[in-house]
Amino acid sequence: MRLSDLLETNISHFGEYPFLHFNEKQYSNIECKMFADQLANGLRHHGIAEGDKVIVCMPNCPEVIFAYQGITRAGAIIVPVMFTLHPKELYYIALNSGATAVITSSLVLVNVEKSLEGLPSQPLVIVVDQPSSEKRLNFYEVKGEGSFASGSTRKDDDTAVILYTSGTTGNPKGVQLTHKNLTSNAQNSIKHNDLERGTTIGVLPLAHVYGLTISNICLSVGSSIVIFSTFDTREVLKAIDKYKVKTFSAVPAMIHALVSNPYADQFNTSSLESVSSGSAPLPVALLHAFEKKFGAKVYEGYGLSEAAPIVTAHKDGIEIKPGSVGIPIPGVEVKIVADNGDEVPCGEVGELCVCGENVTPGYYQNVEESRRVLIDSWLHTGDMARMDDEGYVYIVDRKKDLIIRGGFNVYPRDVEEILNTHETVSEVAVVGVPDEKMGEEMVACVVVRPGSSVTEEELIRYCQEHLAKNKTPRRIVFFETLPRNGVGKILKTHLRKTVTEIEMKY
């Protein structure tokens, strides 16, 4: 199945219904198809050919979904880009992808135009909320002649999307995802969770693979989406109350904000049955706090862009094991391997590998990196994990985040879980810094709860009471906030640099 088939099947099965809610407006699935067809016709009229790349860079809004469907219906390839990126990062993506068009909004237009300077050829610029001019076209005025007639020859195994990774260790890599990668992952996620039709919250960035897949799932089951351009806890709680939302997907940073919101009891959230959490590790203490406050389950899962993205998840009807990311969804195989590629015994830590129809065929224009992570059809994720005897997967840490202290391996998450149970700690991230004696030392970066106070000595003593000596951080550094990327992941590379600079002063 192709991405464009999702909308066709949706309309065929469910008829017309309110598909998107945004800023007190609603758009039906039929209107979505109308705007998508219009854009597809217009892109062809302006010379966008099958296989061309079209960047979509703007905050969440209905036009993002209209654009995704329009691009794929024209036979072109979607390049979703986080609107928070720096112009230099946008420039690299535009150059590497060879994008022939960019769809954006006034909020990021200045950065987009800066990023396009110096490109060998200038892409067509389409703006959703500005009138047409000599330099750009209005989204709703991009039309072709006559009515839209689908003539795309794209196949299931053709690339549908190129998602650029965050690029924390260099230039971002373009993850190629085929129509089959994305549609099979959506269908298998539905099977795993026995998802039913309803209304959900669309607060995850649609430019991120997690948000993109949730929208694909909603099309498949006939659900409606309340779209948010930014995460606002009060507005999300209000939407749960108004639309009687039973379930939605979030990242740990959003779950933390909902738990911390003092006004949650002003809204009726009794309809909420569960929240799916992914994209970053969910502290066990936070999971329990959410369930206690809202009376709803938290189903933690695991995925990555290269797997389109969902790999494992908890679900209703099976035991929830705190600290685990659940079991593989249908159609996905996992194994845990040592550095030599051999599978490790049950319960031991190794690198998590994934196989299935959801796995990327490789990185765009990067054969060397593709060969490094794709070995005999298995995707080597770079995540360290273990599996218990019931098939539940536990993510221990990123391979690159492993701290080797005096020759002993220390996984930051072990320390983070302990510190997260301290009553004064709001958030924590543990990183390794160079040390002449030990090779690496641990530093815990801590955000204290509002109204609380705690000293470095108190937190170190707390760790000593609950952890082995070699797992106790040498230092605690206090932050007002922890740096995050657009989807809420803590930027440990940034923290390492900051903490290393602090350590050099001592």
Give the per-residue pLDDT at 168. 47
The single residue listed with the structure tokens 């897949």 is 213
Q: What is the total count of domains within the chain? A: 3
State the CATH number of the domain containing residue 128.
3.40.50.12780
State the CATH number of the domain containing residue 465.
3.30.300.30
Give the per-residue pLDDT at 96. 97
| Phi, then psi, of 86 in degrees rounded to 5 | -75, 150
Regarding whether 55 and 43 lie in a shared domain, the answer is yes
Regarding whether 240 and 154 lie in a shared domain, the answer is no
Half-sphere exposure of 293 toward its Cβ, with a 13 Å CA cutoff?
22
Measured CA to CA, the distance from residue 173 to residue 93 in angstroms comes to 9
The single residue listed with the structure tokens 């685990």 is 324
In a domain, 240, yes or no: yes
Regarding whether 469 and 357 lie in a shared domain, the answer is no
In a domain, 222, yes or no: no
Regarding whether 462 and 364 lie in a shared domain, the answer is no
In a domain, 135, yes or no: yes
Regarding whether 303 and 390 lie in a shared domain, the answer is yes
In a domain, 424, yes or no: yes
In a domain, 275, yes or no: yes
pTM listed for this prediction:
0.88
| Phi, then psi, of 448 in degrees rounded to 5 | -90, 145
Q: Do 279 and 208 touch, CB atoms closer than 8 A?
A: yes
Give the per-residue pLDDT at 500. 86
Among 336, 337, 381, 338, which Cα is nearest to 358's?
A: 381
> Which among 365, 398, 431 is the end of a domain?
398
Give the dihedral sign, CA 110/112/115/120.
negative
Regarding whether 236 and 383 lie in a shared domain, the answer is yes
Regarding whether 406 and 394 lie in a shared domain, the answer is no
Half-sphere exposure of 243 toward its Cβ, with a 13 Å CA cutoff?
28
- Which are the contacts of 28, defined by CB distance < 8 A and separation ≥ 6? 16, 17, 18, 19
In a domain, 189, yes or no: no
Give the per-residue pLDDT at 215. 96
Regarding whether 161 and 94 lie in a shared domain, the answer is yes
In a domain, 378, yes or no: yes
Identify the domain containing residue 464 by its residue range. Answer: 402-504
Q: Which residues pair with 162 in a beta bridge?
A: 176
> Which among 398, 420, 438 is the end of a domain?
398
- Which are the contacts of 352, defined by CB distance < 8 A and separation ≥ 6? 334, 335, 336, 381, 383, 384, 385, 393, 395
Regarding whether 167 and 46 lie in a shared domain, the answer is yes
In a domain, 198, yes or no: no
> Which among 380, 398, 416 is the end of a domain?
398
Regarding whether 92 and 69 lie in a shared domain, the answer is yes
Whether cis (ω within 30° of 0) applies to the bond prior to 309 is yes
Regarding whether 316 and 238 lie in a shared domain, the answer is yes
**Tens digit of each residue's pLDDT, the chain (506 residues):** 999 999 999 999 999 999 999 999 999 999 999 999 999 999 999 999 999 999 999 999 999 999 999 999 999 999 999 998 889 989 999 999 999 999 999 999 999 999 999 999 999 999 999 999 989 999 999 988 777 776 678 999 999 999 998 654 568 899 999 999 999 999 999 999 999 999 999 999 999 999 999 999 999 999 999 999 999 999 999 999 999 999 999 998 899 999 999 999 999 999 999 999 988 888 899 999 999 999 999 999 999 999 999 999 999 899 999 999 999 999 999 999 999 999 999 999 999 999 999 999 999 999 999 999 999 999 999 999 999 999 999 999 888 888 988 878 888 998 999 999 999 999 999 999 988 788 889 999 999 999 999 999 999 999 999 998 889 999 999 999 999 988 888 999 899 999 988 876 65
Regarding whether 413 and 321 lie in a shared domain, the answer is no
